[in-house]
Amino acid sequence: MANDTAIGKIGDLLADKAFREAFKKNSSKALRDQGLDPTTIDAPVLTALKNLSADQLAAMSSVGKALRDVKASGDAGIRIV
């Protein structure tokens, strides 16, 4: 099972263009450079992230931020399944 802390940190890091570019070049190194152990992330999750373009990773970051903002405002928000 993925380490929830690592997944949360990746979500935050995706907002950083430099991280997204480094992740696309060498995902394991980019994660280690941020203090994350790639082996703590479920392989299917890591593979899915690797298969996304830098623009798609940026879009994921935007959606994640919007969902956090909705949750923080107390609105019901949405659930992505």
* pLDDT 10s digits, 1-36: 456 677 778 888 888 999 999 999 999 999 999 999
- Please report the pLDDT score of residue 1 as a whole number: 43
- Please report the pLDDT score of residue 25 as a whole number: 94
**34-81 residue pLDDT tens:** 999 999 888 998 999 999 998 999 898 888 778 777 776 665 555 554
Length reported for the chain? 81
Q: What pTM value is reported for the model?
A: 0.72
Burial class (CB within 10 angstroms; exposed 0-12, middle 13-18, buried 19+) of 8: exposed
- Please report the pLDDT score of residue 11 as a whole number: 81
